[in-house]
Each structure stands twice: as structure tokens, then as C-alpha cells.
Chains A and B, each alone.
Chain A
């Protein structure tokens, strides 16, 4: 008979041992804002073990080195949104942290949970992907570091195997010359699940030409990706409204070529184009 047991390990070693012991039948509990909803669904078979990792203080907090930001996975969205390092060196992530869920959700939900749950609408992922983040995973078999761009397979599925624990998220600080933005469109102002979002980073040279650009739409593709084709048309150019409109169009076309025309395309096609244009225009 299936049994649900609750564990709250005190350190990472204990946690990895538990994950090994229960193999595919354990669920890690961080902020709980997704896990508890899943657990309540009568159609979902409960796991044998719930492993609450909230006692693992080594998985909390944000630190910075000279060139990098390191975020531990139990950092809540509230903490992320109020961190001065994030505001200064990764503005788009700061903005994303402020538009997730509601204050109550932001007080509980964690960046690690947002990544590992891997919903297509996860708001921290497009910024992290634009920031060239890597994630560190640990299990009894050892640790590995994976670029976040290679981490997701499809919605709700990542390359992490069941006994792996997310240890940290790390990315290079944005240079002062790199301006960034995250824009999200939901069905209501608060607590909105992203219908579409865009993370953008833009670097201009002293002469005002675009040197580098990174665009990652959210909730638009079955798997997040950089819009390399659309990015190319901007590099070396002088920023202009026409150019940004054209870039938006390219992203829209890329989305449709990937997902095909669906019932929602009529809506998403112009909206993603406008979000891209606005994100680029407001990169600051």
C-alpha cells in the first residue's frame, strides 16, 4: 500500500540519501505553491515521500563575486525582488520577481521551485536564460553544472533526474552598458499566469550602435529559447522603432513556425511582436 511520509532533512547529505532511497517516488517541497496544489488534485497519485528542504540553510540566500551572482534555490521571490545585487546587476530578473503571483505567493515561492517545476509560464526562466545562467545539480552520484538553456526538455520536464537536488543558480553580472527588461502580459493584474512574456538584454556601444542583444520569450514556445535569428537583425544597427517592430515580427514568425497555427495564434501573433518591441524600447 502506498504511503505518504514527511521528511525534513537537516542537511544536503541527508536529503540526497532520502532522494536515493525513494528514487522516483519522492517529491521535494520548497515553497509549496505548486506542490500543494498538485497534491490536492485527486487525479494525481501522491508520492510516497514528501521531502521538505526548508531546513537546508545552505540553500538560502544571494551572494555575489566580482563577476557573478549566485542565487541559492530556496531564495523566495520576495527576497529576489528586494535584493540590491539583483536590482543592480540583473534588472530584468528583479522586475520578473515583482510580477510573479501575489505577495503571499512571492513570500513562499522560490526561484528553485520555479525552475524545477518547469511550467512554460515560469517567470524567472526567460530572464535567467537571457542572463546565460547555469544550474548546479547534486545527487549521491555527484554534482554537475548545466547551462539553463540545455536544462528544459518540455513543459514540466527537465533533464534533472529524480534524485537530483538543485544547489545553485549562477550567472555573470550584466555590464553597466547592458540594459535589460522583462515584460509580461497576463489576464489580470495580480496573480496572473503569464500568457506571454519577454526578457530582453541590449548592449549599445559608445557610438549608440547595438553591439549585443538577447531575447527570450516566455510561455510562447514548448521549450524556452533565445531568438537568435531575430537578434541578428539588430546587431550593428542603430536602434529605431522600425527596427524593433521588425524584430518583434521575426519573433512572432519564429513562434508560429514552431507551434503552428492554433486557436490562440490570432491573439498571440501581434501580442508577442508588441511585447518584443516594447521590451527593446524600454531596455534601460
Chain B
């Protein structure tokens, strides 16, 4: 709706913006329309569909990615704003076929039901564990408070994050 609205008024006049950015440690130089969200850029321009599009108003957290190491709603970041910034998405967690320990922990704790909230939950959890390797249950619940799980499997998700085997060395 966001894009469509503008397409009507100024499809041809829209001045494009050139940005230099890093997504999953890969450098990109992109020429983009300024009315894209980071979420659309990731999914539609870069093909990184692991980041999910839920509410698009910053309420559900399905689109959570890390921007300079901090969890943000990618639906609330205008794509040109990532110029010079570092973005990390859920695609960066696994290395080839080897899952990230946090992903393993989600599997081991049955923390994935329908799976739609999982990428966002993983990124919020990663932000937490990157800054606090041994969080309390309350800290975990606060960290994922911006992520909704419609299957309401929160307990398993909290357990998965608490009993993770992510050591600072494994990253």
C-alpha cells in the first residue's frame, strides 16, 4: 500500500537514491527508490525472504533484523536509511547447512510451531545474547516483548533462549 500510493503520484518523477550498505557482511551498492522500507528491500530486491512481513506497523516483530547489532523492525526503517549501516538478517545465522546453536536450541525445545514468528524471535534473541550471555527469564521475556507468536508458544521460546548453547566464542 505504501508503494502503490506513491506509484500513483510520482512513479516517473521519483528521484532514486544511491546507498552503500552491508547486508549479512556483504557489501552492496544499490540504486533504490526512496519509498521502500528496509523490509521490502530485503525481501523483494535482495531476495532475502527469511525476514517475514507481518503487521507492517511495528507491532508484531516478524520483520526484526539487526541494524548495527541492535534489533529493529525492518518495516519501520526507510531503505535509504541503511546507507553506511550494517544489517544482519536471519539468513546470516546458519553457516551452510549447519544451524546456529540458537536455531538448534529452538528445534530441541519445540519452540517452532507455525514458524512465522521464528526469524524475528531468533533475531531478538540474538541481540539479547550478543549483549548478555546469561540472561534471566525476565530479561528474555523483555527482549522478545516486541515479538508476537500467534501460536502462543512463548514458554518453549523462552526455554530455548534460556537453555541455548550459544557461547560467546561460537557467536
A interface residues (Cβ-Cβ under 8 A, vs B): 1-6, 8, 29, 31-33, 36-37, 39-40, 42, 46, 50, 52, 54, 78, 101-105, 107-108, 189-191
Contacts and interface: CB of A to CB of B under 8 A. Distances in A.
B145 interface: yes
Contact of A104 (B5, B10, B146): B146
B9 A33 contact: no
Given A1-B10, A191-B146, A36 B70 contact: no
A42 B1 CA distance: 7
8 contacts: A1-B13, A4-B14, A4-B35, A40-B1, A101-B58, A104-B58, A104-B124, A107-B71
A189 B10 contact: no
Contacts of A39: 2, 35
Interface string B57-71: 111010010010011
Contacts, number: 106
A50 B145 CA distance: 30
A32 B34 contact: no
B80 A52 contact: yes
- Choose among A40, A103, A105, A108 the residue with the greatest number of B CB atoms under 10 Å from its CB: A103
Nearest to A5: B15
A189 B145 contact: yes
Interface string B110-133: 000000000000001001000000
Interface in B1-38: 1-2, 4-6, 9-10, 13-15, 17, 34-35, 37
A61 B108 CA distance: 42
A115 B44 CA distance: 34
Chain B interface: which size bin?
35 or more
A219 B4 CA distance: 34
A104 B13 contact: no
Given A4-B14, A6-B17, A46-B9, A104 B61 contact: yes
A36 B72 contact: no
Given A1-B13, A6-B80, A50-B34, A103 B142 contact: yes
Contacts of A6: 15, 17, 34, 78, 80
Nearest to A31: B76
B107 interface: no
Interface string B140-169: 001101110000000000000000000000
A243 B148 CA distance: 41
B77 interface: yes
Contact of B10 (A2, A103, A190, A191): A2
Interface residues of chain B: helix, strand, loop or mixed (majority)? mixed
A3 B10 contact: yes
B80 A8 contact: yes
A36 B78 contact: yes
Contacts of B15: 3, 5-6
Contact of A46 (B6, B58, B64): B6
Given A4-B10, A107-B71, A40 B2 contact: yes
A-B interface, 4 closest residue pairs, ranked by CB to CB distance from nearest: A102-B146, A190-B145, A6-B34, A40-B2
B14 A3 contact: yes
Given A36-B76, A46-B9, A103 B81 contact: no
Given A36-B75, A46-B5, 15 more contacts: A1-B10, A1-B13, A4-B14, A5-B15, A6-B17, A8-B83, A29-B81, A32-B77, A33-B76, A36-B77, A37-B57, A102-B145, A103-B143, A104-B73, A108-B76
Nearest to A190: B145
B152 to A, nearest CB: 13
Contacts of A32: 76-78, 81
Contacts of A189: 145
A239 B156 CA distance: 46
B128 to A, nearest CB: 8
A78 B67 CA distance: 14
B56 interface: yes
